[in-house]
Chain A
Amino acid sequence: MIAASPAHPTRLDAWRDAARPLLSAGVPPDAVSWDGSLFADTDELPPTGATPPRVPPDFLELAETVLRHRDAERHDLLYRALWRIANGERELLEHATDPLVLRLSLMAKAVRRDAHKMHAFLRFRPHPEEDWHLAWFEPEHRILEAEAGFFVRRFAGMRWSILTPDGSAHWDGETLEFGPPGRREDVPPEGEGEVLWRAYYGSTFNPARLKPAAMRAEMPLRYWRNLPETREIPRLMEEAPARVAAMVARGASEPSMRRQRLIHWAPSGVSEAMELFDAAAGDREAALAALKAEVLADRETPLAAQATQAVFGEGPLDPPLLFVGEQPGDEEDLKGRPFVGPAGRLFDGALEKAGITRGECYLTNAVKHFKFNPSGRRRIHQSPDAGDIAHYRPFLRREIEIVAPRLVVTLGATALRAMMGRAIPVTKARGEIMRTPEGLPVFPTVHPSYLLRLPDPDSREREYGRFVEDLKRAHREVM
Chain B
Amino acid sequence: MPDAALDLRRKLEILADAAKYDASCASSSAPKRDSLKGGIGSSEGMGICHAYTPDGRCVSLLKILLTNACIFDCAYCINRASSNVPRARFTVKEVVDLTLGFYRRNMIEGLFLSSGIIRSPDYTMEQLVRVARSLREEHGFRGYIHLKTIPDAAPELLAEAGRHADRLSINIELPQENSLKALAPEKDFAGIRRSMARMRVRIEEAKEEARAPRFAPAGQSTQMVVGADGADDRAILGTASTLYGSYGLRRVYYSAYSPIPDASRALPPAPPPLLREHRLYQSDWLLRFYGFSLDEIVPAGPDAMLALDADPKLAWALRNRHFFPVDVNKASREALLRVPGLGVRSVDRIIASRRHGAIRWDALARLRLPLRKLRPFLVTADSTPGSLLDQAGLRGLLVSKTQAAPRQMALL
Taking Cβ atoms with an 8 Å cutoff, the residues of A that contact B are 91, 94-99, 102, 116, 119-126, 133, 135, 150-158, 192-197, 199-215, 218-219, 227, 229, 233-234, 236-238, 240-241, 244, 247-248, 250-256, 259-266, 268, 299, 305-306, 308-309, 333-336, 372, 374-379
Contacts and interface: CB of A to CB of B under 8 A. Distances in A.
Interface of B: 1, 5, 8-9, 12-14, 16-17, 19-21, 34-36, 38-42, 44, 46, 48-59, 62-63, 69-71, 73, 81-84, 87, 98, 101-102, 104-107, 116, 119-121, 123, 152, 177, 188, 190-191, 193-194, 196-198, 200-201, 241-242, 244-246, 248, 256, 258-272, 274, 287-288, 349-350, 352-353, 355-357, 359, 363-364, 366-367, 409-412
Q: Indicate the member of A158, A195, A236, A253 with the most B CB atoms within 10 Å.
A: A253
Q: Indicate the member of B36, B259, B287, B366 with the most A CB atoms within 10 Å.
A: B259
Contacts of A201: 51, 53, 59
27 contacts: A94-B356, A96-B350, A135-B106, A150-B44, A194-B105, A199-B12, A201-B51, A203-B14, A203-B20, A204-B19, A204-B63, A206-B258, A208-B55, A209-B56, A209-B256, A209-B272, A212-B412, A214-B56, A215-B53, A233-B54, A248-B271, A251-B263, A252-B263, A308-B196, A308-B197, A309-B193, A336-B194
B53 A374 contact: no
Given A97-B363, A376-B245, A265 B272 contact: no
Given A212-B410, A247-B260, 7 more contacts: A95-B357, A116-B46, A153-B36, A201-B59, A252-B265, A268-B191, A335-B201
A354 B267 CA distance: 62
Contacts of A238: 411
Contacts of A215: 52-56
Contacts of B411: 212, 234, 237-238
A135 B104 CA distance: 11
A122 to B, nearest CB: 6
Nearest to A214: B56
B265 A253 contact: yes
A260 B69 contact: yes
B12 A200 contact: yes
Given A247-B259, A253-B265, A153 B272 contact: no
A334 B203 CA distance: 12
Contacts of B20: 203-206
B412 A196 contact: no
A256 to B, nearest CB: 5
Nearest to B350: A96
Nearest to A236: B54
B197 A209 contact: no
Contacts of A194: 105
A123 B102 CA distance: 10
Contacts of B266: 252
Nearest to A197: B107
A212 B116 CA distance: 31
Given A155-B104, A251-B268, A309-B197, A99 B366 contact: yes
Contacts of A213: 56, 410
A86 to B, nearest CB: 17
Contact of A157 (B13, B35, B258): B35
A374 B51 contact: no
A128 to B, nearest CB: 14
B263 A268 contact: no
Contacts of B71: 260-263, 265
Contacts of A248: 259, 269-271
Contacts of A197: 102, 105, 107
A96 B13 contact: no
A374 B245 contact: yes
B48 A256 contact: no
B51 to A, nearest CB: 6
A375 B106 contact: no
B104 A196 contact: no
Q: Indicate the member of A126, A208, A215, A264 with the most B CB atoms within 10 Å.
A: A208
A374 B260 CA distance: 34
Nearest to A256: B84
B196 to A, nearest CB: 7
A223 B101 CA distance: 22
A95 B107 contact: no
Given A153-B36, A196-B101, A210-B55, A260 B70 contact: yes
A204 B269 contact: no
B55 A211 contact: yes
A241 B409 contact: yes
Nearest to A137: B106
Pick the 8 closest A-B CB pairs, nearest first. A214-B56, A374-B245, A211-B56, A255-B82, A97-B363, A153-B34, A252-B265, A260-B81
